[in-house]
Amino acid sequence: MQLTTTPTGAHRTATFWMSHAWLGTHVEPGVTLDVADGRIAGIRTGVDAPPPGATVLRGLTVPGLANTHSHAFHRALRSTVQVGSGTFWTWRELMYQVAARLTPDTYYDLARAVYAEMALAGITAVGEFHYLHHAPGGAPYNNPNAMGEALIAAADAAGIRITLLDTAYLAAGFGQRAGQYREPDQHQLRFSDTTADAWAERASLLKGSDHALIGAAVHSVRAVPAGQLATVAKWAEERQAPLHVHLSEQTAENDACQAAHGCSPTRLLADHGVLGPRTTGIHNTHLSSEDIALLGVSATGTCMCPTTERDLADGIGPAVALQRAGSPLSLGSDSHAVIDLFEEARAMELNERLRTHARGHWTAAALLRAATVDGHAALGRSDAGTLEPGALADFTTVALDSVRTAGPVPRLAAEAVVFAASAADVRHTVVAGRHIVRDGQHTLVEDVPAALASAIAVLHG
């Protein structure tokens, strides 16, 4: 494992010709895009044929996708947790078993393969909600950020950007009396810094780079005592860093918070200064009308993770009401039941259709916005997610001639991609002007399936 701080694609100059490009409102045929120093230097439309020396991208090119919420090590649970029945809480026990086996080196190997899988799916930036900090038993590594640095290095090796959301996870849940919290159990000792001040001291040692931003996270209101929430919020505020939090994923969390504090988790976060435009609530599934109003008026974002929420039988969150109230929407693959942002995007719409018995809550354009510009903004990258001069030169091309996407006229290519394409239809992924996936093959990780199989086998051996 080697940690580098070399900007991905630094000093790279290139020209790309796109047979079709999504320019935020419509599909444009024949687009040439110039890249300099990792950013889009210029765009020309109406270019019928590739200019000499241009890299040709056939299909629909869209801004790079943002995977706003990831737990990289959960990828090792795929299929294992699909055996039998159970609940979120029984799923969590299997998750703890995998977490207990990880070391900085094995986490690097797994995350490198997982992030390469993301690149193959058109994802150019990931928000890694990172709480696996310490050695088994809770003792810090000699380098207290060995696990976080392994994730940063893994993203670099896979060619994608990362926002490492270093997570405060201090308690096992609410206690029996008001204001009391249970000590971490044996599984959670690896997650805990014991206090928010100790968490902040360790997190402050992390270093960002061009490809890696450092943010913060509150695991949940059950895992960070109320009196310490403000410490995490202040740390993020001082750095103008993203702040994420698992919020009302389970009704049990709402009930326990109500019993302990006499209010909902959303109200508790609001009262302690956690909500705001740099904050993103993950899931936001079981909310009252007051909760929705609090999130909306504070411009707190919402990251929906539909494939995980349905895999864990969590429920369908009120995404339409949240957006109408003022909460920007983004998307994440969370537990990586699948890694496919097109599936996440259409699942948000299709889940809402099932819930309401009505169609058309979001257009393809709105769903693409959640998967791109609003997702990148939630990760602290307001300069990503669009194809326009000055933006980061991060984009992905989806085939329009696969068995899933062939047939529609070009002007409906966005609808074909959002509502029918899968990650398997991604042909190219470019980050900072650098070709990370070319013709469906990863250019930095030779055999991604083999890398995944090898890294996961070690954890189940």
Tokens of 226: 């109320």
- Of 421, 424, 416, 418, nearest to 440 by C-alpha is 424
What is the rounded CA–CA span in Å between residue 280 and residue 172? 22
The answer to whether residue 105 is catalytic is no
Total residues found in the chain within this entry:
461
What distances in angstroms separate CA 122 from CA 27, 67, 229, 439, one per listed residue?
18, 10, 35, 12
Q: Which residues contact 409 (CB under 8 A, 6 or more apart)?
A: none
Please list the alpha-helical segments (H only) found in 204-304: 229-239, 251-261, 265-271, 289-297
> Which among 334, 374, 394, 425 is annotated as catalytic?
334
Helix axes 364-371, 341-356, angle to 10 degrees: 130
- Ramachandran category for residue 390: left, alpha or beta (phi over 0 → left; psi -120 to 50 → alpha): left
Q: What is the DSSP letter of 392?
A: B
Helix axes 341-356, 413-420, angle to 10 degrees: 80
Backbone phi, then psi, for 338, in 5-degree steps? -140, 160
Find how far residue 18's CA is from the centre of its chain.
27
Tokens of 234: 């202040």
What distances in angstroms separate CA 317 from CA 101, 148, 251, 339, one per listed residue?
33, 30, 12, 20
Q: Please name the amino acid found at residue 390.
A: G
403, 425 Cβ separation under 8 angstroms:
no
> Which among 283, 286, 336, 428 is annotated as catalytic?
283
Question: What are the residue numbers of the active site?
Answer: 283, 334
